[in-house]
């Protein structure tokens, strides 16, 4: 079987399972999955051996074609092993957000009908608590440490007489590859069914946009339950033979970049904002003369970027200044960040402030927004690295049709569109119309060159007391870029006479600011009540308001104590705002801004 794969391309396979067999055969000696520093490093050939053994073990436990299997694992090599082993059996593996409580675990495992769950010690207590209400969950497998009574150790789940090649041959393009459970910002999570053909179509489209070097490097660091992580750091490497480095703690991702030097790096806006804030804090700490030179260099870079984006000529003198700054400063910044070998860097999953995008372009890192959904395998539109339009998410990727409905809602038709929501035919019919168009729920604009600008979520638009429609995401992005002190902002104004905001301080920059201003207690809780800091935030709000229409402007704000963390009360695991829970939790503070 393997000898016949020698000249084939994995991207032309009919299933992800087949793609893995091709890649493993052609790249047997290349590193497939590793940890930082190479403490663990499996070649594609070693990974295949481990996958085949585990596939046999899972089949021995009763896992078969079409069955589901739950994975509650962090970013570690065993995730790739377990997911691929389940795929080889013809099963449908899906991931559970690591922040889920027992009742949430119970819901998704029950909804999927999984009889096997693979996890690790740090999540085991919650899994076992959920198991008490899951009578059909027959096996819990633990990948690390000692397996307590009633569970199995991963090392003991092996089988040698399972015909992997026959199993893979029986898998078809329409079979369900994975379930992506939506983050549940507007109700219980829905299971998005993605078939093998869906993901292969999404992956193939990327090849036409980015020329990845052979044996490209990427970092696995986002939640495995999110389509962005699975597509970018699992399926794409399977098809194109990338080397994946696992980052088990997402808070350490910035430290991983210089060690790995990825060829492609995708992150949510908050990470890029933190990188920008970190560089700005570094410059703020320089000696006055050096600080002035650094700021002048970045200002020149910004001038050049804005002229290029406007389609205007760049004066030779400005081009020379930026070239000199690149040699003297920007190249060093790119190397320090660990992004000097990247061929593409992208941001998505939430709106990104234009100022953040311009900043990275100015220092020679052309950051491009992209757009996608769980329902579209995370794909849809992306800015090509060589022709990025700042403020847009780019044109449709190859094989994707995009158009606008009469109310401005973005519609998608393509092979990347999901099969449907698991067990919810009515919700599926609401989402995908009779002509195959997926109704995304995003309000958008499309320019003459096909570039898409996302305005906001249809359900999140603010309609004030006077009937004016506004995009909270646009207002929030404008405020966030007004000061590095601002970490997160929520605009409130629906059915109200004016807009207000909840402000969360930036956990990295606020303490630096406090130190610079001689404030002893630099905790976020204390700083939320500091008069000097409040004055700085007011100054930022005033600057942001100058860029907003009068009806959009923020009239009052409250600085929230502490930080908002992914998977907490206020943010989804991918850092999207949970607007309804926020409104309920901070109801008193919000009401106070509308009194008097």
Q: Strands 367-372, 462-463: parallel, antiparallel or unpaired by DSSP?
A: unpaired
Stronger pLDDT, 155 or 251, i.e. the higher one: 155
For 317-333, the pLDDT digits (tens) are 999 999 999 999 999 99
The pLDDT, as a whole number, for residue 185 is: 53
Measured CA to CA in angstroms, residue 245 lies from 75, 536, 545 at distances of 9, 40, 43
Question: Looking at the predicted structure, is the pLDDT value of residue 596 above 80?
Answer: no
Contact in structure between 256 and 247 (CB atoms under 8 Å): yes
Does some domain include residue 143? yes
Backbone angles phi, psi at 426, to 5 degrees: -70, -40
What distance in Å separates the CA atoms of residue 438 and residue 430, rounded to the nearest whole number?
A: 9
Structure tokens at 202: 């999404």
Tokens 């078809």 correspond to what residue? 172
Question: Looking at the predicted structure, is the pLDDT value of residue 189 above 80?
Answer: yes
Number of residues written out for the chain: 596
Average pLDDT of the chain?
Answer: 92
C-alpha 145: how far from its chain's center?
Answer: 30
What distance in Å separates the CA atoms of residue 65 and residue 206, rounded to the nearest whole number?
A: 29
Mean pLDDT throughout 369-383? Answer: 94
Q: Which residues contact 555 (CB under 8 A, 6 or more apart)?
A: 498, 499, 500, 593
Res. 269 pLDDT band, cuts 50 70 90? confident
What percent of the chain stands above pLDDT 70?
Answer: 98
Enclosing H/E stretch for 102: helix 102-112
Domain boundary among 245, 267, 289: 267
For 543-587, the pLDDT digits (tens) are 999 988 888 899 999 999 999 988 788 987 777 888 889 999 999
Res. 3 pLDDT band, cuts 50 70 90? very low
What distance in Å separates the CA atoms of residue 509 and residue 31, rounded to the nearest whole number?
A: 38
The pLDDT, as a whole number, for residue 316 is: 96
Structure tokens at 342: 């990247």
Domain boundary among 240, 267, 294: 267
- The DSSP call for residue 146 is P
Does some domain include residue 71? yes
For 36-76, the pLDDT digits (tens) are 988 999 999 999 999 999 999 999 999 999 999 999 999 99
C-alpha 558: how far from its chain's center?
Answer: 28
Does some domain include residue 291? no
Q: Could you give the 3-state DSSP secondary structure of residue 211?
A: coil
Residue-range definition of the domain harbouring residue 34: 2-267
Question: Looking at the predicted structure, is the pLDDT value of residue 1 above 60?
Answer: no
Does some domain include residue 421? no
Enclosing H/E stretch for 42: strand 41-43
- The DSSP call for residue 252 is G
Expressed in angstroms, the distance from the first to the final Cα of the chain is 77
Question: Looking at the predicted structure, is the pLDDT value of residue 243 above 90?
Answer: yes
Does some domain include residue 361? no
- The enclosing domain of 550 has a CATH number of 3.30.300.30
Does some domain include residue 503? yes
The pLDDT, as a whole number, for residue 115 is: 97
Contact in structure between 470 and 456 (CB atoms under 8 Å): no
**What's the structural domain count of the chain?**
2
Domain boundary among 252, 267, 282: 267
Contact in structure between 371 and 393 (CB atoms under 8 Å): yes
Query: Nearest 10 degrees: CA dihedral of 544, 548, 552, 555?
Result: 40
Determine how many CB atoms are found less than 10 A away from the CB of residue 471: 19
Q: Which residues contact 508 (CB under 8 A, 6 or more apart)?
A: 274, 277, 278, 281
Gyration radius (Cα) of the chain, Å: 25
Q: What is the 3-state secondary structure (H, E, C) of 551-564?
A: HHCEEEEEEECCCC
What distance in Å separates the CA atoms of residue 586 and residue 241, rounded to the nearest whole number?
A: 47
Does some domain include residue 393? no
Among 378, 380, 97, 64, residue whose Cα is nearest residue 235:
378
- The enclosing domain of 195 has a CATH number of 3.40.50.12780
Specify the pTM. 0.85
The pLDDT, as a whole number, for residue 187 is: 64
Res. 495 pLDDT band, cuts 50 70 90? confident
Contact in structure between 72 and 295 (CB atoms under 8 Å): no
Question: Looking at the predicted structure, is the pLDDT value of residue 350 above 80?
Answer: no
Does some domain include residue 45? yes
Span of 131-140, 301-310, 479-488 with lowest mean pLDDT: 479-488
Question: Looking at the predicted structure, is the pLDDT value of residue 214 above 50?
Answer: yes
Contact in structure between 345 and 264 (CB atoms under 8 Å): yes
Mean pLDDT throughout 491-511? Answer: 91
C-alpha 575: how far from its chain's center?
Answer: 9
9-43: b or e for each residue (b if 16 or more CB lie within 10 Å)? ebeebebbbbbbbbbbbbbbebbbbbebeeeeebb
The pLDDT, as a whole number, for residue 285 is: 84
Question: Looking at the predicted structure, is the pLDDT value of residue 280 above 50?
Answer: yes
């Amino acid at each position: 079987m393997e000898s016949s794969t020698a000249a084939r391309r994995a991207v032309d396979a009919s299933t992800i399972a087949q793609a893995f067999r091709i890649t493993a055969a052609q790249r047997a000696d290349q590193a497939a999955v590793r940890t930082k520093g190479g403490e663990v490093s499996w070649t594609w050939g070693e990974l295949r051996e481990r996958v085949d053994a585990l596939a046999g073990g899972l089949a021995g436990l009763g896992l078969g074609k079409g069955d589901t299997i739950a994975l509650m694992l962090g970013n570690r090599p065993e995730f790739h092993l377990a997911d691929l082993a389940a795929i080889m059996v013809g099963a449908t593996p899906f991931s559970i957000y690591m922040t889920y409580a027992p009742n949430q675990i119970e819901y998704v495992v029950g909804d999927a009908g999984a009889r096997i769950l693979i996890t690790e010690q740090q999540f085991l207590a919650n899994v076992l608590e959920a198991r008490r209400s899951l009578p059909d969950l027959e096996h819990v497998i633990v990948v690390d440490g000692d397996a307590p009574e009633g569970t199995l150790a991963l090392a003991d789940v092996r089988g040698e007489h399972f015909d992997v090649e026959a199993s893979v041959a029986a898998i078809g393009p329409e079979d369900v590859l994975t379930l992506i459970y939506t983050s549940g910002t507007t109700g219980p999570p829905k299971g998005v069914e993605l078939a093998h053909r869906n993901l292969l179509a999404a992956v193939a489209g990327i090849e036409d946009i980015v020329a990845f070097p052979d044996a490209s490097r990427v970092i696995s660091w986002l939640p495995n339950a999110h389509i962005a992580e699975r597509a970018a750091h699992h399926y794409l490497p399977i098809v194109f033979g990338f080397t994946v480095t696992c980052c088990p703690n997402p808070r350490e991702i910035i430290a991983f970049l210089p060690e790995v030097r990825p060829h492609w790096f995708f992150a949510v806006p908050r990470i890029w904002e933190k990188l920008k804030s970190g560089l700005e804090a570094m410059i703020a700490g320089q000696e006055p003369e050096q600080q002035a030179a650094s700021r002048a260099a970045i200002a020149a870079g910004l001038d050049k970027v804005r002229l290029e984006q406007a389609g205007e000529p760049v004066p030779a003198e400005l081009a020379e200044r930026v070239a000199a700054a690149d040699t003297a400063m920007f190249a060093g910044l790119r190397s320090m960040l660990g992004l000097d070998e990247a061929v593409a860097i992208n941001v998505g999953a939430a709106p990104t402030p234009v100022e953040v995008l311009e900043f990275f372009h100015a220092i020679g890192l052309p950051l491009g927004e992209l757009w996608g959904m769980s329902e579209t395998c995370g794909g849809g539109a992306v800015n090509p690295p060589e022709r990025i339009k700042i403020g847009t998410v780019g044109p449709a990727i190859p094989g994707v049709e995009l158009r606008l409905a009469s109310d401005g809602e973005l519609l998608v038709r393509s092979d990347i569109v999901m099969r449907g929501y698991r067990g919810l035919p009515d919700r599926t019919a609401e989402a995908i119309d009779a002509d195959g168009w997926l109704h995304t729920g995003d309000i958008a604009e499309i320019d003459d060159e096909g570039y898409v600008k996302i305005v906001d979520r249809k359900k999140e638009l603010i309609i004030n007391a006077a009937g004016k429609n506004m995009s909270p995401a646009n207002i929030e992005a404008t405020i966030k870029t007004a000061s590095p002190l601002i970490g997160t902002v929520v605009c409130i104004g629906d059915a109200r006479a004016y807009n207000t905001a909840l402000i969360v301080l930036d956990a990295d920059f606020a303490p630096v600011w406090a130190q610079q201003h001689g404030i002893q207690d630099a905790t976020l809780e204390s700083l939320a009540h500091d008069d000097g800091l409040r004055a700085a935030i007011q100054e930022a709000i005033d600057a942001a308001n100058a860029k907003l229409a009068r009806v959009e402007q923020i009239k009052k704000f409250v600085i929230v104590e502490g930080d908002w963390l992914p998977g907490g009360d206020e943010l989804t695991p991918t850092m999207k705002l949970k607007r309804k829970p926020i409104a309920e939790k901070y109801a008193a503070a919000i009401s106070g801004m509308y009194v008097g």
